């Protein structure tokens, strides 16, 4: 990327002509929305403000996230176990059994990397409890700050042989974002506890969501809100598929579900809450429902009835009258008025023959009962039957910043007679750091194309929306948070600038600007696995002149100099580097980020799991994952995965067999050998981007022309702007510029506004003027014109 920046530093002057006299189509009123997925602990540990992590001991949570110690501080281990003998209810089968013993026991929970307490702001503590052996004593419940000082406390008593709910209001005397909850259980107690919950009383609009995070979404003024996923809707197997009926009503009776993004989901943020959130945001709800397909299996066609019925019931829950079965439940759950759900997406990223067979089942049933509902299909394949043709198709787009720039023209020549397009997920995900300026500039260029074509692309949403910084299962993410606060990555500002400056009608724009050559990034090498155990040895990297750049020599050097990414289990034994976890996305990187041409040689062996192994190269930053994937996609393909291009061939890896692997990076040519056989002989394409991308609209409310200009060059680009059909500028214009010193600049919790827009008033000389747009910038010009 450094090379790309140097080459593009001196972009030739550009011209932008805006036809204010020839307004085009209306800007789609639903164009800029949000996509909320329960990914990266976005719901639990995020928007859903339960402070206790693992409140009900279900699934993989077991006893995790709780610490037990003796109240005497003598190191004695209080007895605790998961009990299934008398569940709290049919959906909440497991509870905690504590036999404190001795001086009693202290139970501690730190929530999601610390609980946030605000002085004077009350929290509600709840627990379901039952006791045995006639225990009649009391518990202390304490909120403690990060230095363990008690900042609120209360007492619970009145335990009996049957389950009973207990509630306390606790108001912290001090603010602290890394606090914890303590329960002091007396020695004679033998108690069963479930749904141990601590929630702030104050929530966004009183509807149970974390205030600052809900406000971050609100500030984007989203036109729609797609929920609850994403892959989360699908699950790996059908047992992990999202089923909305398990997520409504009393939180103690919701079915917890293992989230494929690596945690147990409480479903506290359920279907009803998503509908409520959309209503509170003033956003059109877009419910994405499972189509009877998970990542690894599909529901047999003769069992699809239940899934189709679920979709019908979901619509009735949202919209049905209070005397309908599901409408009555909505009323009981606190919302008598219909939610007015008008758009439903059938499946997420599903395709192939299974999708082609299941899509019509939903369309037929839903359209028969609810003809007014708009149905969105997943990416539509040309060989699908013509009927029923979707009204809207969801096309997802993840790419490099430069790839997105090139896609700015993608919809210019799109078939206007076919379905409309919902770009339900897009983002720069490669060479994007943790969400850097360059990524945001790529997205901004792409978005000019979406806006210009919003007669066909009627809806679009960045993805994903949230990450807890301690659980980044996907990167980048628009809004990053911890228990104390949040920041928006550079892309957040791009989203906001486009949404708040959408305008009413598009104006045709013609841009003349230089083509900038782009050079692929180079960098460190590495080894990787995905849901697979593997081992590696005899790794050597050699320069073209034969000089050894790196000799792994695990026997003598161990893993000195290696960077391990992801939660892998790496170990060295007998000169072999072994990775024994079956988690996804595990990588070990080594070498110099400036490495270019070289030959990588090693031996690799798969030990167990779903795929093969990966030999990585060009990994300048930790977020790059480019290289050779052997046995990828369920051990079906051999793929060269580069930042801007790839090549995929059939190929699988046998378990237990040592392979000789060789990769040669020779200028634009990449050659890969497996056991001496040439598998890939690939030429990197010579790619370019434009320096300037632009779109323009007219705002009917204010009369202004809104011009969005993206300069992708490293340095400033002098640009002449013609506003055809404009007699005069009628006042001060406003320029809002998003840029920063370096394309790799990022925001963070410590520096939340390092990359942030700046607004200035401007006096323009008239409808023809010249401006210099800074390198790597998005500029929104709001120009008042005489009517």
Q: Which of 141, 185, 231, 692 binds ligand AHR (CB under 6 A)?
A: 231
The interface with ligand AHR within residues 674-713 (CB under 6 A) comprises none
711, β-bridge pairs: 692, 777
Cβ distance to ligand AHR smaller for residue 106 or 288: 288
| Nearest CB to ligand AHR, comparing residues 464 and 612 | 464
Residue nearest to ligand AHR (CB): 230
Contact string 347-376 vs ligand AHR (x = CB under 6 A): -xx---------------------------
DSSP 774: P
Measured in whole angstroms, the distance separating CA 763 from the mean position of its chain's CA atoms is 41
Q: How many residues bind ligand AHR (CB under 6 A)?
A: 11
Residue numbers 406-445 binding ligand AHR by CB under 6 A:
425
> 627: Cβ–Cβ under 8 A, 6 or more apart, which residues?
525, 526, 528, 614, 615, 616, 617, 618, 619, 640, 641, 663
Q: Taking the mean position of all CA atoms in its chain, how far away is CA 230?
A: 9
- Minimum CB distance to ligand AHR smaller for 375 or for 511: 375
Q: What angle do CA 241, 243, 249 make, to 5 degrees?
A: 145
What is the nearest approach in angstroms of ligand AHR to the Cβ of residue 296? 15
- Residue 376 Cβ, how far from ligand AHR at the closest point, in Å? 13
Q: Which is nearer to ligand AHR, 230 or 401 (CB)?
A: 230
Q: Which is nearer to ligand AHR, 345 or 451 (CB)?
A: 345
- Extract long-range pairs of 651-657: CB within 8 Å, 24+ residues apart: 651/679, 652/612, 653/606, 653/611, 653/612, 653/613, 654/606, 655/606, 655/607, 655/608, 656/605, 656/606, 656/607, 657/605, 657/606
**Is the sign of the CA dihedral 269, 272, 278, 282 positive or negative?**
negative
CB under 6 A: which stretch of 19-27, 224-232, 585-593, 614-622 binds ligand AHR?
Answer: 224-232
631 within 8 A of 644, measured Cβ to Cβ: no
The nearest distance, CB 461 to ligand AHR, in angstroms, is: 10
Residues written for the chain: 787
Question: Is residue 349 flagged as an active site residue?
Answer: yes
Q: Which is nearer to ligand AHR, 45 or 229 (CB)?
A: 229
Q: Which of residues 285-324 bind ligand AHR (CB under 6 A)?
A: none
Output the smallest distance, CB 394 to ligand AHR, in A: 9
Report helix, strand or coil for 281: helix
Nearer to ligand AHR, 57 or 227 (CB): 227
Structure token pair of residue 713:
């060059």
Q: Which is nearer to ligand AHR, 199 or 213 (CB)?
A: 213
Q: Which of 229, 401 has the CB closer to ligand AHR?
A: 229
CB 445 within 8 A of CB 511: no
Shortest Å, Cβ 474 to ligand AHR? 5
- Which string of x and - marks every residue 320-349 that binds ligand AHR (by CB under 6 A)? ----------------------------xx
At 314, list the tokens: 């979901």
Minimum distance from residue 210 beta carbon to ligand AHR (Å): 21
270 binds ligand AHR (CB under 6 A): no
194/305 Cα distance (integer angstroms) = 35
Q: Which is nearer to ligand AHR, 349 or 482 (CB)?
A: 349
Q: What is the Cα 193 distance to its own chain's centre? A: 34
The count of other CB atoms within 10 Å of the CB of residue 504 is 15
Which of the ranges 225-233, 291-299, 440-448, 544-552 carries the binding residues for ligand AHR, by CB under 6 A?
225-233
> Rounded distance, CA 40 to CA 470, Å?
8
Cα gap 576→580, rounded to integer Å: 12
3-state secondary structure at position 344: strand
Q: How far separated are the first and last CA of the chain, in Å rounded?
A: 46
How far apart are CB 39 and ligand AHR at their closest, in Å? 6
Contact stretch for ligand AHR (CB under 6 A) within 73-81, 226-234, 316-324, 712-720: 226-234
Identify which of residues 50 and 394 has a Cβ nearer to ligand AHR in the complex.
394
Q: Using CA atoms, how far apart are residues 565 and 581, in angstroms rounded to an integer?
A: 13
Give dist(CA 479, CA 213) in Å, integer: 8
Among 49, 78, 208, 230, binds ligand AHR (CB under 6 A): 230
- The sign of the torsion formed by the CA atoms of 218, 224, 228, 231 equals negative
Per the CB < 8 A criterion, the answer to whether 338 and 327 are in contact is yes
Planar angle of CA 84, 85, 87, nearest 5 degrees? 65
User: Least separation, in Å, of the C-beta of 31 and ligand AHR?
Assistant: 19
Q: Which of 282, 174, 291 is nearest to 220 (CA)?
A: 282
Q: How far is CA 422 from its chain centroid?
A: 18
- Indicate which residue of 58, 349, 425, 443 is catalytic: 349
Residue 37 within binding range of ligand AHR, rule CB under 6 A: yes
Looking at 49, 179, 229, 627, which residue binds ligand AHR (CB under 6 A)? 229
Question: Which is closer to ligand AHR, CB of 216 or CB of 712?
Answer: 216
Cβ closer to ligand AHR: 242 or 693? 242
| Rounded distance between C-alpha atoms, residue 549 and residue 355, angstroms | 49
Least distance to ligand AHR, CB of residue 235, Å: 11
Min dist CB 397 to ligand AHR, Å, is: 10
Residue 237 DSSP code: S
Binding segment toward ligand AHR, per CB under 6 A, in 228-236, 300-308, 362-370, 565-573: 228-236
Considering only 463, 525, 640, 643, the residue that binds ligand AHR (CB under 6 A) is 463
Smallest gap from Cβ 239 to ligand AHR, in A, equals: 18
Among 270, 292, 449, 464, binds ligand AHR (CB under 6 A): 464
Q: Helix 305-319 to helix 325-332 angle, to the nearest 10 degrees?
A: 50
- Do residues 154 and 82 touch, judged by C-beta distance below 8 A? no
Chain-centroid distance of CA 584 in Å reads 16
DSSP of 448-503: HHHHHTTTTEEEEEES--EEETT--SSS--SEEE-SS-EEE-HHHHHHHHHHHT--
We find the least distance from the C-beta atom of residue 220 to ligand AHR, in angstroms, to be 16
Q: Is 377 in the site for ligand AHR (CB under 6 A)?
A: no
- To ligand AHR, the closest distance from the beta carbon of 480 in angstroms equals 15
> Cα–Cα distance between 419 and 440 in angstroms, integer?
28
| Selected binder of ligand AHR within 242, 384, 474, 550 (CB under 6 A) | 474
Asked if residues 174 and 151 have their Cβ atoms less than 8 Å apart, the reply is yes
User: In whole angstroms, what is the distance from residue 418 CA to residue 457 CA?
Assistant: 11
Answer yes or no: are the C-beta atoms of 56 and 265 closer than 8 Å: no
Instruction: Point out the residues that are catalytic.
Output: 349
Residues in the site for ligand AHR, rule: CB under 6 A? 37, 39, 229-231, 348-349, 425, 463-464, 474
């Amino acid at each position: 990327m450094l090379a790309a920046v140097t080459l593009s530093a001196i972009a030739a002057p550009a011209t932008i002509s805006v036809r204010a006299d020839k307004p085009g189509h209306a800007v789609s009123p639903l164009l800029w929305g949000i996509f909320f997925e329960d990914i990266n602990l976005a719901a639990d540990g995020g928007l859903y403000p339960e402070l206790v992590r693992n409140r009900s001991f279900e699934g993989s949570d077991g006893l995790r996230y709780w610490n037990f110690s003796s109240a005497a501080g003598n190191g004695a281990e209080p007895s605790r176990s998961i009990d299934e003998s008398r569940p709290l209810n049919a959906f909440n089968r497991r509870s905690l059994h504590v036999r404190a013993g001795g001086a009693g026991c202290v139970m501690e929970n730190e929530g999601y990397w610390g609980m946030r307490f605000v002085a004077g702001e009350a929290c509600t503590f709840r627990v379901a409890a039952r006791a045995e052996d006639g225990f009649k004593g009391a518990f202390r419940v304490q909120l403690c700050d990060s230095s363990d000082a008690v900042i609120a406390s209360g007492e619970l008593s009145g335990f009996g042989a049957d389950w009973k709910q207990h509630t306390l209001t606790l108001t912290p005397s001090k603010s602290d974002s890394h606090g914890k909850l303590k329960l002091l259980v007396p020695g004679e107690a033998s108690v069963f506890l479930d749904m141990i919950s601590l929630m702030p009383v104050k929530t966004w609009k009183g509807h149970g969501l974390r205030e600052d995070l809900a406000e971050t979404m609100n500030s984007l003024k989203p036109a729609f809100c797609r929920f609850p996923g994403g892959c989360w809707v699908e699950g790996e197997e059908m047992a992990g598929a999202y089923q909305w009926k398990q997520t409504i009503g009393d939180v103690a009776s919701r079915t917890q579900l293992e989230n494929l993004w690596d945690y147990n989901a409480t479903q506290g943020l359920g279907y009803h809450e998503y509908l409520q959130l959309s209503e509170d945001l003033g956003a059109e709800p877009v419910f994405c429902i499972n189509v009877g397909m998970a990542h690894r299996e599909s529901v047999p066609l003769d069992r699809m009835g239940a899934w189709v019925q679920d979709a019908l019931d979901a619509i009735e829950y949202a919209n049905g009258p209070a005397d309908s079965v599901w409408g009555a439940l909505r009323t009981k759950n606190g919302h008598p008025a219909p939610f007015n759900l008008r758009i439903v997406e059938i499946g997420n990223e599903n395709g192939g023959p299974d999708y082609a067979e299941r899509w019509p089942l939903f369309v037929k049933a839903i359209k028969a009962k609810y003809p007014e509902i708009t149905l969105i299909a997943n990416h539509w394949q040309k060989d699908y039957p013509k009927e029923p043709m979707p009204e809207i198709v969801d096309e997802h787009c993840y790419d490099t910043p430069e790839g997105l720039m090139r896609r700015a023209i993608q919809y210019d020549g799109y078939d206007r007679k076919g379905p409309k397009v919902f770009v339900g997920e897009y983002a720069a995900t490669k060479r994007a750091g943790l969400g850097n300026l360059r990524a945001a500039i790529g997205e901004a260029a792409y978005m000019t194309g979406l806006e210009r074509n919003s007669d066909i692309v009627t809806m679009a949403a960045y993805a994903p929306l949230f990450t807890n910084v301690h659980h980044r299962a996907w990167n980048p993410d628009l809004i990053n948070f911890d228990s104390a606060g949040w920041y928006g990555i550079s892309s957040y500002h791009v989203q906001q600038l486009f949404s708040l400056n959408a305008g009413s009608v598009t104006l045709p724009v013609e841009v003349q600007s230089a083509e900038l050559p782009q050079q692929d990034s180079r960098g460190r090498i590495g080894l990787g696995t995905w849901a697979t155990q593997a081992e590696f040895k005899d790794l050597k990297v050699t320069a073209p002149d034969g000089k050894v750049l790196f000799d792994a020599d695990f026997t003598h050097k161990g893993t000195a100099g290696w960077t391990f990414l992801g939660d892998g289990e790496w170990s060295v034994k007998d000169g072999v580097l072994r990775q024994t976890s079956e988690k996804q996305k595990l990588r070990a990187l080594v070498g110099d980020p400036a490495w270019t041409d070289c030959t990588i040689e090693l031996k690799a062996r798969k030990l167990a799991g779903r795929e093969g192994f990966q030999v990585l190269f060009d990994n300048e930053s930790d977020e790059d994952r480019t290289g050779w994937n052997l046995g990828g996609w369920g051990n079906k393909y051999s793929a060269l995965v580069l930042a801007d291009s790839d090549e995929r061939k059939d190929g699988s890896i046998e378990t237990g067999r040592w392979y000789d692997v060789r990769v040669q990076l020779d200028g634009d040519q990449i050659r890969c050998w497996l056991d001496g056989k040439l598998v890939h002989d690939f030429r990197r394409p010579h790619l370019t981007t434009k320096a300037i991308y632009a779109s323009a609209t007219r705002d009917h409310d204010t009369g202004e022309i809104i011009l969005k200009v993206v300069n992708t060059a490293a340095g400033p680009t002098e640009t002449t702007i013609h506003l055809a059909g404009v007699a005069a500028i009628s006042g001060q214009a406003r320029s809002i510029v998003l840029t920063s010193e370096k394309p790799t600049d990022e925001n963070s919790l410590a520096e939340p506004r390092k990359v942030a827009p700046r607004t200035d008033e401007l006096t323009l000389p008239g409808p023809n003027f010249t401006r210099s747009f800074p390198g790597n910038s998005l500029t929104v010009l709001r120009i008042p014109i005489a009517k």
